Every structure is written in C-alpha cells, then in structure tokens.
Structure 1
C-alpha cells in the first residue's frame, strides 16, 4: 500500500524522506509548495502530490489513496487538527513528529473516533517523544507503583527552524507540568534542579515537553515534569519574562519572532547529525520514597526522528495494530529505544 510524507521539503521532513529512500521505500511526497516538492521528488525519484491542508476536499481525496501519512509540516498547533480529522474520515493511519502538548491532547481526544475508523493515531514518532517515552515505560516497569515521574534530556545539537518556531510560538503560554493526572499551566522555568543526564551534573529547568501529555498515557503515573539543561542566566531571563509574556501571545509578535528564526540555519549540519548525540534521563519515585533512575544515550534528535518516523510507519503498515490512540512506547514497546542507542 502507498504511504505519504506530508511536509517533505521542510528540514526534518526531508530527513525522513531521505531515510525512507535509503531503505528502498517509495513514499509519496506531499505539501503545498510544488517547486520545493518537485526538487526533492526529482532528486529521490519519488512521486509527489501538491495538496493544501486548507482544502478539505483535496486533502481527503489525496489521503483516500494512502494507507498511512507521516505528517511533518508544522507548526502542528495549526496543522495537526485538519490532518487528523482528514485521516479519520479517510481511514488513513496518522503519525507525526510533533512535541506540542496540545497536539498530543487533541490526538488523544480523538481516540474513540480513531478506533471506530480502525486507524492508528500516534503523534510524536520522532525525538519527540520516542526516547523519553521509552524511558518512561522502562521506569514504570521497574517501579509499578510510581506516583511521580521526572524526565529530561541533554543535547548539543542545533534546533531546526521548525522546532525553533514552535518554541517561540509557545513562549506566551509558559510552561506545563502534570499534577495528579491533570496538565497545569505554570510559569516559564517553573522548577530548577541539578541533574546528571549522563554526561555530568548540570543545572536544569522544566519545559513543556510532549511527555507531560504522552508519558501519562504510557505509564499512568499522575505527576510528570520534564527538564533540560539551562544556564542560571537563561533561567533568570525566563523568570523575568513571565511578567510580560502575555505580549507573546499576540499573533503579530509570533510572526515577528518567526521571521527572526528564518534568519538562522535550517538545522544541524551533517557533522552535528552524526556527532551531536543526546543523553536521555528519567527518574520515578513512589509514595514510600523509593527512587529508580534510567539513563540512555541515543543518536542526534533529528537523525532519530528520521529513523523513528520511518520505522514506526513500516511497523504500522506491517503489523496492522488495532485502531486507536497510541504513544510510541505503547505502540512498539519500551524496547523501541534499542534501535537508536549509541556508544
């Protein structure tokens, strides 16, 4: 059956397309910009299809011929809903590479519709959130009665423009944690602590990473926080920003920040993709005070995304899981991370 990579000419979408082709696969490339699509399709000798997410009829017609779509066109807070809805209508499996909490929650809200349609809806099939989701699942296995989960990662890799745009668009909303089963909005840099992610102790702060949503559905652990390394000066700046971050919610401010991002390189260069590995860490604790810790060292996040998106697409096509909402670890098991470990 035929499958599609939508947004194949973005930085990460192109990595996914390149990896799929290197594996001898022939996905259809799609997006709204014909010139960019044609360039990559010609280079990879793949078919392409021009379709705009705003054109519901054309989108459903395109998806009607596909068994599965890997959605790579952000910002997903804008693009995920129309694609998920179209996939449910056309009975097309849906995967994406988002890390946005709101998108994971929207996808989870569609669980019953996905089950009735007989399709898999599994957002986050890249660095967001494969390795952290697998670590969460490992911790749950080791401490079944855990009631608090803390995850984090450390990477020296440059962000892609798409990731940076998502980050600046979300600044006005602040942070997010899960407490007693509910997602709560919190200030930027809400909590800080020192963590050894696997390469020495570092000062770290909370971020609204996708696991605030997904790790709950993977493990059932009711309280979840996610950390990354941050300098004390950055934490101070973010804390000061909390007083006026409401300004960052205006669309014109978001657009201005996105234009600034457009001046940056598209993403990590080839050397960074191969050498800038990622350290993933997790800690679970229970009511009696027992604590367990897991550390993993995995490939560069963008390289992992390109591999993970293709791996899970092929898994869904081959195994034909029951329809519904999934996290990567729920779909493929905690052992999925073994594919992406590095020495």
Structure 2
C-alpha cells in the first residue's frame, strides 16, 4: 500500500508518523513546509513529499498513486475540503483527525460521490471522535428507542496549538446541539449540569463537539448534546462573551487570537501523554424517561489519536469497505474504543 500522512510536521501529525514508524509501516510524510517535512522524514527514515493544498493540480498529482491519506493539517475548516476534493478526484481513501462540525457535515454531504469513486471518507479518527462515537453506539444498543443522547469527557491534558486555534476560531459561531435531528446554533455555555464523568461529580457545560454531527449518523438519535467540565466562573465569562460573538467572527480578530495561541507550548508534555488519561461518559434517554449510562477511561487524547488514525487506516486497507461516508464506529464497530481502555 502507498499511503500518506499529510501535515506530518504538526504536533499530532508527528505523533501519528512516529506511531506508524513504531509499527514498521512506511507512509509518505507530506505537507507544505519542505524544511520541516524533510527533517522529520530524515529522522524517521521515511519518504517525503512537499505539496501545498492550494495547488489543486499538484495535490491531485501527488495523490495519483496514493491509496489512502491520513490528513493531520488544520484548521480543518480550511484544509479538509481541498484534500477531500483531491481524494475524490484521485480515488484515494480519506481519514482525518478533525473535531470540527463543518468538516463532518461536508464529508457526509459527499457520501454519494465517495461511493461512486469507491473511496472511504471517515473524518474524526482520533480523540475526535472515536471514544465518544463508540460510547454513543454502545448506548444505542442498550437503549434502541433512545430519543436523547448526552456525551462528555474530562481530560487533564493540555490542548495542542492546533486544537486551541480551532477552538478560538469557533468561538464566534457559538455553541451547537442537535435538536429534533437538526444541528442548531445555540449560545456559548448553552446548558450546564452536574456530571460524574467517572471521577466524581463535576459542573459541566455544553460544547460544539463533533458528536453533534457524527453521533446522529452513528445512532439516529435526534437530540444530542456534548459536555465538558467547566468552572462556574468560566461559564459566566462565556455567557457574557455571547454578546461579542459578532466581533469574534472577524478574520482579523481570529488571527489575533491565533497568534496568542502560538505562544503556548506545542502540545501535551511526554509525561501528560502517558499519564493524563481521559474519562468519557454517555447517557441515553427514551421518551418514557428510561436512561442508560456508560463510562469508560481511555488513553490521553493525543496518544489515542496517534494510534486510532493508524488503526482506522489499516482497517480500511485490510477490509476494503464499500465507498462512502463513515463515522469511526460505523466503519470499525463500537468495540474500536476498547483498544484504548486504561
């Protein structure tokens, strides 16, 4: 198989590349930063390729003999579409590590084109959204007539710069939930509740996590919310920030916030990668008020992503599923998360 990790020089892309090397795999490391890509490829003794996503012709040519791309270059709201379009043109399987709602929805909208091309489109093959997607699938099995689904996670790990940039770019769009089958824009910190994610009760708020999109396609449950722990002080600040969301949608403001993120560490430390595990929680409820709850503890999100991206890629290669859009649980089964239990 010829396959590529695009954006291999980023924080998470490098983890994916290192994971591939540890498994004795030989992906092509690619990206637009020639110096960084060639340096990493030299260190890992892997082939490399320099290509810019904005150069449509060069990108399609680079993918001509590539069977699968693991796309790791964010922000995915900018980078996913050109890579997906190039994969459709070159008939190359596509997976990525996004958590961005717009990317999941765009990929889902290309289902018929992907089916016709015979390729898999499966965004979110990392911590966004393998654990929560699999928990959602397991809850659907336990409560087939569920009408409401709440998911959430608690992690002590630092965000990577890429994840932080995505978060600040999304602030101006507000929150998001799925209501009666439709993704609905809501205020930041829209709802709060007490949740035991697996390590004691914590105050939590809704966030516009990828499962607002993906869990619907996995389970068919029409009402979905996703939560993370948050202090009452942070919730209060976000509620006030709702009045300034228009300002946060200005590209210049986004760039300013991204520059502040650039001053942060690249991502979790080696110690956090090994020790900062993640608690994942889910709750399904039906019209009669019956509920089912599930809690699991998994690896650090970035370590899980480095493993999950490779696992899903190898699943596609070995199983050769029919072309089309998939969520991780639909593609690999709800048991996929069990590989990453702590």
Give TM-score scaled by structure 2 length: 1.00
Unpaired runs of 5+ residues, structure 1, are: none
The CA distance in 2 between the partners of 1:261 and 1:21, in whole Å, is 29
Report Cα offsets for 1:202-228 as digits up to 9, x if no partner: 000000000000000000000000000
Offset, 1:13: 0.2
* Alignment match, 1:338: 338
1:177 matches 2:177: yes
1:92 matches 2:79: no
The CA distance in 2 between the partners of 1:250 and 1:12, in whole Å, is 27
Offset, 1:185: 0.2
* Alignment match, 2:147: 147
RMSD (CA atoms) = 0.3
Report Cα offsets for 1:83-105 as digits up to 9, x if no partner: 00110111000000000001000
1:34 matches 2:34: yes
The CA distance in 1 between the partners of 2:101 and 2:244, in whole Å, is 22
Report Cα offsets for 1:191-244 as digits up to 9, x if no partner: 000000000000000000000000000000000000000000000000000011
Report Cα offsets for 1:285-313 as digits up to 9, x if no partner: 00011000000000000000000000000
* Alignment match, 1:25: 25
The CA distance in 2 between the partners of 1:223 and 1:74, in whole Å, is 28
The CA distance in 1 between the partners of 2:38 and 2:323, in whole Å, is 33
The CA distance in 2 between the partners of 1:325 and 1:185, in whole Å, is 24
Aligned positions of 1:21-100 closer than 5 A: 21-100=21-100
1:308 matches 2:308: yes
The CA distance in 2 between the partners of 1:5 and 1:85, in whole Å, is 17
Report Cα offsets for 1:13-33 as digits up to 9, x if no partner: 000000000000000000000
SS of alignment partner, residue 244 of structure 1: helix
The CA distance in 1 between the partners of 2:161 and 2:101, in whole Å, is 19
The CA distance in 2 between the partners of 1:243 and 1:34, in whole Å, is 42
Offset, 1:107: 0.2
Report Cα offsets for 1:247-268 as digits up to 9, x if no partner: 0000000000000000000000
* Alignment match, 1:192: 192
* Alignment match, 1:207: 207
The CA distance in 1 between the partners of 2:63 and 2:175, in whole Å, is 35
Report Cα offsets for 1:98-154 as digits up to 9, x if no partner: 000010000000000000000000000000000000000000000000000000000
Task: Report how many aligned residue pairs link the two structures.
Answer: 342
Offset, 1:49: 0.3
* Alignment match, 1:6: 6
The CA distance in 2 between the partners of 1:142 and 1:63, in whole Å, is 42
Report Cα offsets for 1:149-200 as digits up to 9, x if no partner: 0000000000000000000000000000000000000000000000000000
SS of alignment partner, residue 164 of structure 1: helix
SS of alignment partner, residue 112 of structure 2: helix
Offset, 1:64: 1.0
SS of alignment partner, residue 242 of structure 1: helix
The CA distance in 2 between the partners of 1:117 and 1:179, in whole Å, is 32
* Alignment match, 1:118: 118
The CA distance in 2 between the partners of 1:174 and 1:20, in whole Å, is 36
* Alignment match, 1:216: 216
Offset, 1:245: 1.3
Aligned positions of 1:260-279 closer than 5 A: 260-279=260-279
